[in-house]
Structure 1
């Protein structure tokens, strides 16, 4: 994905959250492998929390 697209997506989330009265701050960028690992970890954490 071109860097300019990523910048536009980040800007969307920053603006959207600002309108909602929240702050959104991107912390880093990664490729597809990092995205998949992040989503997998979040899904596992969610499932663990639902069992409690």
Structure 2
């Protein structure tokens, strides 16, 4: 027989949607988004002239 439980242990594994995040992570995400938009749209627009 199995000697282990099939019930998940909430202290052992945490998935991304369950993890909390703070202002630092929000700021990093916003900065990455802005850099991506700059590379994808602003730089090609400036070089189109």
The question of a shared fold, defined as TM-score above 0.5 by the shorter chain, is answered with no
Structure with the higher helix share, 1 or 2: 1
TM-score by length of 2: 0.44
